[in-house]
Amino acid sequence: MAGGSVETLVAGLDRVARMEADERAAVTRELGRDCPMYRSLLSTVTVARTVAFASGLALCVAVLILAQDAPMEWVAAFVFAGLFGFGWVVVRLTDNRFDVLLAVLGAYDAERGRRDGSTDTAALGEPRRSDDPVH
C-alpha cells in the first residue's frame, strides 16, 4: 500500500469522516449488503462487545456475591468466567484483519498529520529518539 493506494485510502476515509450521520448510516447499510468482509468484521465486533459486557457483568456479580459471603466456588466461577470472556475478546480482536484495519487507520492519522503540518515524529510512524525533548 505504498504511494497512491495509501493516498486514495486516506482520501476515502477523510470523505467518510466528513459525512453527515445519515449519509454514513446509508454507506454502512450499503457495505453490509455488498461487502461480505465488512459483514464478517461487524459481526465479530458485535459478538466481542456482547461478550465483553457479559464478562464485566460476571465480574460485578462475583464482587456482589463475595460481599454476601457466598461460597468461594461461586465467586471463583464468576471471576474465571469474566476473565475467560475478556481473554476471548482480546484474542478475537487481535485477529490479523483488525491488525490491517489498525494499520490503515495509522496510515490515515500519519497522512492527516502531514497535511496539518504536524512535525510529531511519533504521529508519522517513526520511533522517537532518546535525545528527543518531547516524550
| Span 46-76, pLDDT tens digits | 888 899 999 999 999 999 999 999 999 999 9
Q: What confidence score (pLDDT) does residue 111 get? A: 63
Q: How far apart are CA 11 and CA 102, in angstroms?
A: 17
pLDDT digits (tens, 9 = 90+) for 29-44: 887 888 787 788 888 8
- The count of domains in the chain is 1
Q: What's the whole-model pTM score?
A: 0.57
The answer as to whether 124 is a domain residue is no
Which one-letter amino acid corresponds to residue 89? Answer: V
Identify the CA nearest to 31 among candidates 41, 44, 18. 41
Q: How far apart are CA 56 and CA 84, in angstroms?
A: 11
pLDDT band at 104; cut points 50, 70, 90: low
The answer as to whether 23 is a domain residue is no
The answer as to whether 16 is a domain residue is no
The answer as to whether 131 is a domain residue is no
Is pLDDT above 60 for 124? no
- Classify 7 in phi/psi space as left (phi over 0), alpha (psi -120 to 50) or beta: alpha
The answer as to whether 60 is a domain residue is yes
Q: What is the 3-state secondary structure (H, E, C) of 75-86?
A: HHHHHHHHHHHH
Q: How far apart are the first and last CA of the chain?
A: 29
Percent of the chain predicted with pLDDT > 90: 27
**Contact at 8 Å (CB) between 58 and 10?**
no
More confident residue, 113 or 3: 113
The answer as to whether 5 is a domain residue is no
Per the structure, the complete domain to which residue 78 belongs is given by 31-118
